[in-house]
A and B are shown apart, each in its own frame.
Chain A
Amino acid sequence: MNAQVSTIAGEPLPQELHDLLNSSDGAAFEQALDVLVRQREQRMFRALGLLARDLHDAVRRLGGDLAQEGVPGSVADARQHLQDVLEMSSQAAHRTLDFAERMRPQAEAVAENANAVIDGTAEGDVAHVLAKQAQSFANECREGLADFVVAQSWQDLAGQRIKKVVNFIGSVEHSLLELVSLTGALANGEAAAAPVKVTSQDEADRLLSEFGF
Chain B
Amino acid sequence: MKILVVDDFSTMRRIVRNLLVELGFSNPLIQEADDGENALTMLRANAFDLVVTDWNMPNMTGIDLLRAIRAEPALKGMPVLMVTAENNRDQIIAAAQAGVNGYIVKPFTAVTLQEKLTKIFERLAASGATA
Contact = CB atoms under 8 A, between A and B. Distances in A.
Interface of A: 90, 93-94, 97, 100-101, 146, 149-150, 152-157, 159-160
B109 to A, nearest CB: 6
Interface of B: 7, 9-12, 14-15, 18-19, 22, 56, 85, 106-110
Contacts of A153: 11-12, 15, 106-108
Contacts of B12: 153, 155-156
Nearest to B16: A153
B25 to A, nearest CB: 14
23 contacts: A90-B10, A93-B11, A94-B10, A97-B11, A97-B15, A101-B18, A146-B19, A146-B110, A150-B19, A150-B110, A152-B11, A152-B15, A153-B107, A153-B108, A154-B107, A155-B11, A155-B12, A156-B12, A156-B85, A156-B106, A157-B106, A159-B9, A160-B56
Contact of B14 (A94, A154, A160): A94
Contacts of B7: 156
Given A156-B106, A157-B85, A160-B56, A146 B22 contact: yes
Contact of A157 (B10, B19, B107, B109): B107
A153 B110 CA distance: 12
Contact of B15 (A90, A150, A159, A160): A150
Given A150-B19, A150-B107, A157-B106, A90 B14 contact: no
A150 B107 CA distance: 8
A126 B56 CA distance: 55
Contacts of B109: 150
A204 to B, nearest CB: 20
